[in-house]
Amino acid sequence: MAKKWRDPDKVCWDEPDGFFTILNCTLPSKKLILQVNEIVRALMISCSENSTLVCNELEEVKRFSKKYKDTGSTKETFNSISIDTCNISNESLSCLLGVMGVNGTDQVKLQRVTGTLEPVHLEGLEGVTHLEMYDVDKSLTSVPYNALSLLSNLEIFSMKKAFIELTSESNYVLSKLTIVTLDECRIKSVPKGAFKATPEITHLSLRRNTMESIEVDAFEGLTELVWLDLNENLLTHLPEGVFRHIPNIIEIDLKMNKLLNLSDDLFTGLNKLKERLIPMCNQAHSNISQRNTEIPLF
């Protein structure tokens, strides 16, 4: 059994566990646990008792975390940083890089984090290519494009289990973002130009929302989109021409909706469409039936 080492001041103590080093710390803002996986170069932070992640307190952790840094590694970045069940203060999460003695991270995952995501939280994280948000605080009611715009290399964004509304009001363009997932976000409708901030996306998932309507120009500007998932929503109707802005689409998933009638021209002009997943009640489109995968309507 690995011997536990405790700091004389009892600020932190470690528990080596296989490939992980678990650092338990009691700080002025209560308690947090840092797990460092040296093999996959990942840092995981979880808070307890409504703890707040405060950067200047993490300086207390720094002298202990240095002990576990892989000095033999030539890579100066982490693959991922995860933060779970923490309040976040009004300062950048990049302070975690300094604590661990690295220059950047490829991925950031925020789960059950209290508060909205503001630009200040992502300052200094320009190298991040993948951001995930799960069990999002209800105070965040829209996609935080103002904060995401600071991640100039962001390619993948995922938000799941949130309460948001899509709007066309965005003054930001995320030119490198190609994959967007907004699943289980209680989205009720998709307005015109809802994705004008992300014109280069190729994959869009709006799965498991409460979506009842999509405006005809909702996908305006998404000429690079090849995969669209609208599965498990409450759609009863799709306006004619709703897909005309996505000429390069290859797959559309519409199953597990309440669609009863689809326009005969709904898929007209989509010459690259190879698969469309629809309920069996919409069998009238025999002209491209070879491209359909029909799903029983339950």
Residue 288 pLDDT: 35
Residue 3 pLDDT: 34
**pTM for the model:** 0.87
Residue 117 pLDDT: 95
- Give the SS3 label for residue 12: strand
Residue 297 pLDDT: 32
How many other C-beta atoms are found inside a 10 Å radius of the C-beta of residue 121? 23
Dihedrals phi, psi of 265, to nearest 5 degrees? -100, 10
Contact 134, 108 (CB under 8 A): no
Residue 70 pLDDT: 52
Residue 98 pLDDT: 85
Residue 67 pLDDT: 58
Residue 2 pLDDT: 35
Q: What whole-number distance in Å separates Cα of residue 171 and Cα of residue 117?
A: 17
Q: Residues in the chain with pLDDT < 70?
A: 1-10, 16-19, 60, 63-75, 279-298
Q: How many residues are given for the chain?
A: 298
Q: For residue 64, what are its two tokens?
A: 């202990």
Residue 65 pLDDT: 63
Amino acid at 193: G
Residue 62 pLDDT: 72
| Tokens 């029983």 sit on residue | 296
Residue 176 pLDDT: 97
Residue 247 pLDDT: 96
Dihedrals phi, psi of 62, to nearest 5 degrees? -55, -40
The secondary element (H helix, E strand) that includes residue 180 is: strand 179-183
Q: What whole-number distance in Å separates Cα of residue 121 and Cα of residue 111?
A: 15
